[in-house]
Amino acid sequence: MSEGLTYAAAGVDTEAGDKAVELMKDAVRRTHGPQVLGGVGGFAGLYDFSEVATYTKPLLATSTDGVGTKVAIAQALDVHDTIGFDLVGMVVDDIVVVGAKPLFMTDYIACGKVVPERIAGIVRGIAAACEVAGTALVGGETAEHPGLLGEDEYDVAGAATGVVEADRLLGPERVREGDVLIALGSSGLHSNGYSLVRAVVKHAGWELDREVEEFGRTLGEELLEPTRVYASDCLALAHDDAAQVHAFTHVTGGGLAANLARVLPAGLVGTIDRGSWDVPPVFTVVRDLGNVPRRDLENTLNLGVGMVAIVGEGGADAALARCAELGLTAWVLGTVGVLDDSVTASVGGEDLVVGTKGVHAGAVRLTGDYRN
């Protein structure tokens, strides 16, 4: 009589999952402060939210996201301890946009086969990024999906919760004519537009181990550069009253103009000067290698701007000074003005973005040409 079919024979190895937890648990614990109860391995993460008593009107903020096709680069290079920064950045930096402090986060990893060292590497990266953000990693899940994903394939997602005092909530309601747009430099591509980038690389026939003079390293190393996590720096900037922060926008899918328009009130327009910064080499290489039209670049990639702070006219100098103290590359990107018929009539279609992602919001116009 043949042996019965087991879970392991079906492709799921629970012992490998247990080993992965052992390898990652110390990194996860380093994100825990006294507010985290129960440690690693519970059915639910527990967070002591007694500090809510110090708030007059606390508002909870939540966000969820993934990394997208950047995971294909990590898998091809067999480097898995940086992709966690991309996940955390995509999640917590959406929360900080409204001025909320990201309190805790959970992650989810789906894979074709649990390789303990690989899973632990991913989670160690998530934990390291949570430390940078000041966010507790309170739980997660690893799911083995044999037959659905290849043995070396995986995807990652996460969710986080934050809190902000109601009277410190940031957003379009605070933005006024005369406000100044302060750009915060990105670390590279971050985690958006990789379907375009990978298509360009494939079309050009470039390999990931190719040394690229403009990068000073290999193509793969440049493409895997982790997303900058802005959360703690943005909170420091928002709490500096001299900076007069009214809103932030996180430049992710859709590019700079579309994401900025989301945090401007209807009737106002943010004017961006393309000539105010040097576009980093990774973007110009993608542009030239794929002969990518400017409109596609601007609608897909961050082009070197990872976040934008919208500050009061009298707060720009203080905001730039605070950014310098925090080690953030920052510059004046443009200003906020009134959107009227004269603006609409004078700007070409590809240079004006009005309302995006279903939001009844303001507009953004792009002027001039990039330095490079």
Query: What values do phi and psi take at 294, rounded to 5?
Result: -55, -40
Both tokens of 358, joined, read: 């279903």
pLDDT at 21: 73
pLDDT at 296: 94
CB-neighbour burial class of residue 139 (10 A; exposed 0-12, middle 13-18, buried 19+) = buried
Domain holding 75, by residue range, is 12-165
**Are 310 and 263 within 8 A, CB to CB?**
yes
Q: Indicate if 36 and 62 belong to the same structural domain.
A: yes
Domain boundary among 119, 141, 165: 165
Task: Let me know if residue 3 belongs to a domain.
Answer: no
Q: Indicate if 233 and 100 belong to the same structural domain.
A: no
For the chain, 372 residues long, the average pLDDT of each consecutive 10-residue run is 62 70 77 82 83 94 96 97 97 98 95 92 95 94 91 96 97 97 98 96 97 97 98 97 98 94 95 97 97 95 98 97 97 95 62 77 94 90
Task: Let me know if residue 55 belongs to a domain.
Answer: yes
**Those residues with Cβ within 8 angstroms of residue 191's Cβ, 6 or more apart along the chain or in another chain:** 67, 68, 70, 86, 87, 89, 90, 227, 252
Q: Indicate if 136 and 180 belong to the same structural domain.
A: no
Cα 8 to Cα 141, 160, 214, distances in angstroms: 19, 33, 48
Task: Let me know if residue 372 belongs to a domain.
Answer: no
Q: Indicate if 151 and 208 belong to the same structural domain.
A: no
Task: Let me know if residue 6 belongs to a domain.
Answer: no
Q: Indicate if 277 and 198 belong to the same structural domain.
A: yes
Q: Indicate if 204 and 303 belong to the same structural domain.
A: yes
Q: In what order do the strands lie in the sheet with 154-165?
A: 58-66, 154-165, 101-111, 136-144
Q: Indicate if 282 and 198 belong to the same structural domain.
A: yes
Domain boundary among 125, 142, 165: 165
Task: Let me know if residue 5 belongs to a domain.
Answer: no
Task: Let me know if residue 2 belongs to a domain.
Answer: no
**Are 277 and 371 within 8 A, CB to CB?**
yes
Between CA 128 and CA 84 the distance in angstroms is 8
Task: Let me know if residue 191 belongs to a domain.
Answer: yes
Task: Let me know if residue 28 belongs to a domain.
Answer: yes
Q: Indicate if 146 and 189 belong to the same structural domain.
A: no
Q: What is the Rg, in whole angstroms, of the alpha carbon atoms belonging to the chain?
A: 22
Between CA 85 and CA 98 the distance in angstroms is 21
Q: Indicate if 127 and 215 belong to the same structural domain.
A: no
Domain boundary among 165, 184, 201: 165
Q: Which CATH number is 299's domain given?
A: 3.90.650.10
pLDDT at 14: 67
Q: Indicate if 160 and 94 belong to the same structural domain.
A: yes
Q: How many domains does the chain have?
A: 2
**Full DSSP string of 108-174:** EEEESS--HHHHHHHHHHHHHHHHHHT-EEEEEEEEE-BTTB-TT-EEEEEEEEEEEEGGG--SGGG
Q: Indicate if 242 and 152 belong to the same structural domain.
A: no
Q: Which CATH number is 137's domain given?
A: 3.30.1330.10
Nearest to 334 by CA among 266, 275, 284, 251: 275
CB count in 10 Å sphere of residue 47 = 18
Between CA 246 and CA 176 the distance in angstroms is 9
**Are 310 and 245 within 8 A, CB to CB?**
yes
Q: Indicate if 35 and 103 belong to the same structural domain.
A: yes
pLDDT at 3: 66
